[in-house]
Amino acid sequence: GAVVSQHPSWVICKSGTSVKIECRSLDFQATTMFWYRQFPKQSLMLMATSNEGSKATYEQGVEKDKFLINHASLTLSTLTVTSAHPEDSSFYICSASAGTGVEQYFGPGTRLTVT
């Protein structure tokens, strides 16, 4: 099946710094990528949808200036958490779709801890 990777798998950063998370589709071209965040014992919350070469579409309540999303190629999307604060600590998950169907392939997730 299609494989999606994320890097790093976990990261610890100090409050006020920025962190970049990469999401890669390894064996297919992803026309659309999605970013989610998940707090402990809660469901995944969609943050934004990005299509290759265009600006991301953010869900209501998600600050686009704080969570910068770039989808520069058909195999790579990045999420940058700017000026991170402890409340940004969460599990961030990306998914990718080839656009030929409705199936999304999920990455393994990135655990962000802001101290």
Partner 1 sequence: LAKTTQPISMDSYEGQEVNITCSHNNIATNDYITWYQQFPSQGPRFIIQGYKTKVTNEVASLFIPADRKSSTLSLPRVSLSDTAVYYCLVGGNTGGFKTIFGAGTRLFVKA
Interface contacts to partner 1, rule CB under 8 A: 1, 4, 6, 32, 34, 36, 43-46, 49, 51, 57, 91, 93, 95, 97, 101-109, 111
**Shortest gap between Cβ of 16 and partner 1 (angstroms)?**
26
Beta carbons within 8 Å of 55's beta carbon, 6+ residues apart = none
Between residues 46 and 83, which has the closer beta carbon with respect to partner 1?
Answer: 46
CA 29, 31, 32, 35 torsion-angle sign: positive
**Shortest gap between Cβ of 106 and partner 1 (angstroms)?**
4
- Can you name the residues that pair with 50 across neighbouring β-strands? 33
Between residues 63 and 103, which has the closer beta carbon with respect to partner 1?
Answer: 103
**Shortest gap between Cβ of 1 and partner 1 (angstroms)?**
7
**Shortest gap between Cβ of 83 and partner 1 (angstroms)?**
25
The C-alpha angle with vertex 63 and arms to 69 and 110, in degrees rounded to 5, equals 50
In terms of Cα–Cα distance, which of 52, 4, 45 is closest to 24? 4
